[in-house]
């Protein structure tokens, strides 16, 4: 006791930092402002500002003769957006996004389900890394890998021939629309790469949703006489649905905005992203590029609104 009492009287923090600390303590709003100021200046002013300025150009139009933007509000650009050729692009992109999303769900579900319900300890970590590594691996390298795989002289052709199934691959490539000269210049190729690149974005939310389903629910369902198929259909699937919806937000949105994958693996027909790229670049039609950009934003806004109604956010 005596030893503790023998300490010198505490000296209090003084000086500039002490006074500044007092000031911030007395005015928590000031502290909040100082914390939020820099990030808000960056994101709210620089980023949102650029976004707003760019998108607002869609209400202007290019003058056909000079090629310059006429700064008068007009719906001409939007009329151009809904021309047949451009509508084709929008429909093509939307169909691809839908098919990619569906396929991702089918491939992702077993992985997520096994990881959430059966994998334990080291296996669980392995599964987690097994999804995280491809997720974070270089996007371009992943596309490049598929260029190697789908090339006419690549591993897929080789594998089909080894299995004496070369005729099957040829028959597939001979199909209209989804076929082509080789897989790497067909919609089938584009589709495969999209599914591959976005798959982790589907697995993770489904797994997160399934992790929250208590095992006792599955046991209770079995106890009440449901066979595994019924349990899956009536218990697991509804509970995993928010995860599926959340995952589909990623796969859908990412497919809508991508312009590199269809450019490298696919036919020469454009997707929205490529159209935006072409309009702002070679065509120099910034208003039309902006109008094209509005399409995925509107679609995703509707999608998010619907997802919210379904409770996909409450679950995450």
Question: Is residue 134 within the footprint of another protein (CB under 8 A)?
Answer: yes
Q: Binding residue for another protein (CB under 8 A) from 99, 105, 145, 283? A: 145
Question: Is residue 92 within the footprint of another protein (CB under 8 A)?
Answer: no
- Dihedral sign computed on CA atoms, order 92, 94, 96, 99: negative
Question: Is residue 71 within the footprint of another protein (CB under 8 A)?
Answer: no
Q: Binding residue for another protein (CB under 8 A) from 76, 103, 115, 312? A: 115
Which C-beta is closer to another protein: that of 12 or that of 309?
12
Question: Is residue 133 within the footprint of another protein (CB under 8 A)?
Answer: yes
Q: Binding residue for another protein (CB under 8 A) from 76, 149, 209, 244? A: 149
Which C-beta is closer to another protein: that of 84 or that of 300?
300
Q: Binding residue for another protein (CB under 8 A) from 66, 138, 268, 314? A: 138
> For residue 34, how many C-alpha atoms fall within 13 Å in the half-sphere facing its CB?
10
Which C-beta is closer to another protein: that of 94 or that of 177?
94
Question: Is residue 123 within the footprint of another protein (CB under 8 A)?
Answer: no
The size of the interface with another protein (CB under 8 A), counted in residues, is 105
- Using alpha carbons, select from 96, 199, 193 the residue that is nearest to residue 145: 193
CA distances from 214 to 32, 72, 124, 209 (A): 40, 59, 17, 11
Stretch that binds another protein, among 60-68, 72-80, 82-90, 128-136 (CB under 8 A): 128-136
Q: How far is the CB of 241 from another protein (least distance, A)?
A: 19
CA distances from 248 to 29, 195, 211, 285 (A): 39, 12, 18, 32
The residues in 5-24 that bind another protein, with binding defined as CB under 8 A, are 5, 7-13, 17-18, 20-22, 24
CA distances from 80 to 85, 287, 291 (A): 9, 10, 9
Stretch that binds another protein, among 50-58, 73-81, 84-92, 233-241 (CB under 8 A): 50-58
The answer to whether the CB of 173 falls within 8 A of the CB of 182 is yes
The residues in 205-234 that bind another protein, with binding defined as CB under 8 A, are 213-216, 219, 228
């Amino acid at each position: 006791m005596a030893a503790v009492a023998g300490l010198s009287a505490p000296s209090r923090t003084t000086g500039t930092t002490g006074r500044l600390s007092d000031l911030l303590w007395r005015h928590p709003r000031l502290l909040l402002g100082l914390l939020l100021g820099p990030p808000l200046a960056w994101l709210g002013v620089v980023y949102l500002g650029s976004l707003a300025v760019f998108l607002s150009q869609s209400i202007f139009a290019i003058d056909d003769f000079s090629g310059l933007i006429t700064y008068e509000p007009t719906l001409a650009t939007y009329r151009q957006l809904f021309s047949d050729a451009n509508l084709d692009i929008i429909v093509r992109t939307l169909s691809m996004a839908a098919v990619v999303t569906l396929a991702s769900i089918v491939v992702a579900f077993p992985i997520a389900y096994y990881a959430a319900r059966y994998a334990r300890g080291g296996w669980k970590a392995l599964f987690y890394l097994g999804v995280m590594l491809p997720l974070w691996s270089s996007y371009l390298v992943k596309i490049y890998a598929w260029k190697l795989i789908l090339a006419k002289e690549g591993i897929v052709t080789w594998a089909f021939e080894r299995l004496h199934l070369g005729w099957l691959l040829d028959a597939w490539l001979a199909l209209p629309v989804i076929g082509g000269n080789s897989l790497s210049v067909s919609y089938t190729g584009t589709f495969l790469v999209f599914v591959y690149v976005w798959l982790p974005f589907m697995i993770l939310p489904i797994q997160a949703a399934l992790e929250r389903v208590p095992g006792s629910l599955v046991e209770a369902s079995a106890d009440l006489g449901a066979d595994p198929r019924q349990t899956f259909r009536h218990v697991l699937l509804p509970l995993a649905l928010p995860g599926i919806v959340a995952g589909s937000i990623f796969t859908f949105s990412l497919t809508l905005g991508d312009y590199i994958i269809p450019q490298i693996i696919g036919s020469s027909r454009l997707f929205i992203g490529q159209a935006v790229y072409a309009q702002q670049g070679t065509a120099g039609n910034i208003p039309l590029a902006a109008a094209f950009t509005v399409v995925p934003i509107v679609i995703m806004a509707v999608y998010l609104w619907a997802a919210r109604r379904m409770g996909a956010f409450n679950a995450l």
